[in-house]
Amino acid sequence: MWAGSVWRAALRRAPGGFRAQSALAQLRGILEEELEGIRGAGTWKSERVITSRQGPRIQVDSISGGILNFCANNYLGLSSHPEVIQAGLQALEEFGAGLSSVRFICGTQSIHKNLEAKIARFHQRDDAILYPSCFDANTGLFEALLTPEDAVLSDELNHASIIDGIRLCKAHKYRYRHLDMADLEAKLQEAQKHRLRLVTTDGAFSMDGDIAPLQEICHLASRYGALVFVDECHATGFLGPTGRGTDELLGVMDQVTIINSTLGKALGGAAGGYTTGPGPLVSLLRQRSRPYLFSNSLPPAVVGCASKALDLLMESNTIVQSMAAKTQRFRSKMEAAGFTISGASHPICPVMLGDARLASCMADDMLKRGIFVIGFSYPVVPKGKARIRVQISAVHSEEDIDRCVEAFVEVGRLHGALP
């Protein structure tokens, strides 16, 4: 009791002592209530700990034996490709662990410029600029490019990074219904009074596995004098005949003005993002894009890995061509079993379940059967549209896919998701 009295007396002597403690206690109460609400809604997100390299087969902490991984963005299986790893080690040895600087001070090495030039060639654009992530690329684009005289028109289901990037800019904002070209046209008509009009869409939507109708979007953009921006994070490297993305897949590479994408998925899976497009735009971003100006340069090892991944992709499209058959095998078998799979022909295969708790429990039971998948629920997806998002990789075998389907059928019946 004496110690407590001394402590309280010290707090009274300290300016604002009790008030500070009271404010902290209030904060803790607010946070605990919010966290308990997340738990109660069944949307709590736990992080499973992987103790091996990323790949189709992984080791998971506290679970014996190998686990089949069906939820990584490792579309081409390059995250642990020996040549990609070796390129990273070589860059680490030659150029060091990092630059300790942003790009414009003393943070630009020859490998950064070489990778930017390679990205521009890959996408057949003028120039490219690297960012720490594509989230940074998206938050750095709109504020630097658009003014209060301009307008941005965005699909309602665009990625959170696009939404956040648009919020930062002062342009007039229009949101059109998902993939609804009639609504986009109406919004374009309404936006004719603005200086620039930028139509903004994901190429492939990461939660639903559907693909933007870029031919129609580009046609409307041309009719109404608009520019087209596409986020290609879930398309670069594996959609289109040579993996250039949805603009190649749909034959509109010459009509899309700006592309943002990532090095952290198909292209090695480490980190990093980029913008590629007209030369003057890239030059403006180097002068005004805040995430670029105020973030450290990409580490040399990441640059080396991504550069090698692009080399492998440009040398051969064999890996790209293997994706379609494997994706179709999974989708057809799951639909035959009675599951609803969102999207079409994309390696993202969302198994639609509706209930958040059901998705979480089924994912846990899949892990017990040696299959690593994750349940997605609000706020990542809309309420009532919880799902388990399965992602097919070029390095999954047909046997891997069949085993995954068999586990889904067993778990689905256990939880009443299948008859």
Active site residues: 206, 234, 265
Paired tokens of 257: 């003005």
SS3 402: helix
Largest CA distance in the chain: 80
What are all long-range contacts of 171-178, with beta carbons under 8 Å and residues at least 24 apart? 171/142, 171/146, 171/147, 171/196, 171/198, 172/148, 178/205
SS3 67: strand
The answer to whether 412 and 366 have CB atoms below 8 angstroms apart is no
44/384 Cα distance (integer angstroms): 15
CB 389 within 8 A of CB 234: no
Spatial contact of 50 and 59, defined as CB atoms under 8 Å apart: yes
- Whether 147 and 171 have beta carbons less than 8 Å apart is answered as yes
At residue 95, φ and ψ (nearest 5 deg) are -115, 0
- Give the C-alpha separation, 54 to 59, whole Å: 9
Q: How far is CA 158 from CA 41, 207, 232, 296, 351, in A?
A: 25, 10, 11, 27, 20
